[in-house]
Amino acid sequence: MSLKIKISEDLKSAMKEKNAGKLSILRVLKGEIERNEQSANGKIELTEGDIIKLVKKLTEGIKETTNNQDEISLLEGYLPKQITEQYIREKVERLRVIDGFATMGEYMTFFKKNYDGRYDGKVLSTIVKEKLA
């Protein structure tokens, strides 16, 4: 089940349960998804990675403003498990040795394609810079 469908289903459940808190934050999230699907050329379909970025952005906004832990934990439930720094280090080393990756762009493209929304770009960038130095 795609993340977008899961959010819609959870929104329907919150309506049935009359759970005002959950309903409120899910409406905001769904609204953000729909707003980001609009473009000058018509409606576009967001990728899972795009939706994950929206969830992260909304979570950060709540942390900075109200810091409502219920809303934060609800939103974090939609985020995939993040890969660890150790896993990134091992993968970067493997790509360098086995696949011969030699530029920052190769690593970033690989991680974006295979782990979109599941890694910290700053951590990856730092590790790759260490390996390329």
The dihedral over CA atoms of 106, 110, 116, 122, expressed in degrees to the nearest 10, equals: -40
Mean pLDDT, the chain, integer: 90
pTM of the model: 0.71
pLDDT band at 120 (very low <50, low <70, confident <90, very high): confident
User: pLDDT digit string (tens) for 1-43?
Assistant: 788 999 999 999 999 999 998 999 999 999 999 999 988 788 8
CA distance linking residue 14 with residue 56, whole number of Å: 21
Looking at residue 81, the DSSP 8-state letter turns out to be: P
pLDDT band at 50 (very low <50, low <70, confident <90, very high): confident
Overall size of the chain counted in residues: 133
pLDDT score recorded for residue 43: 85
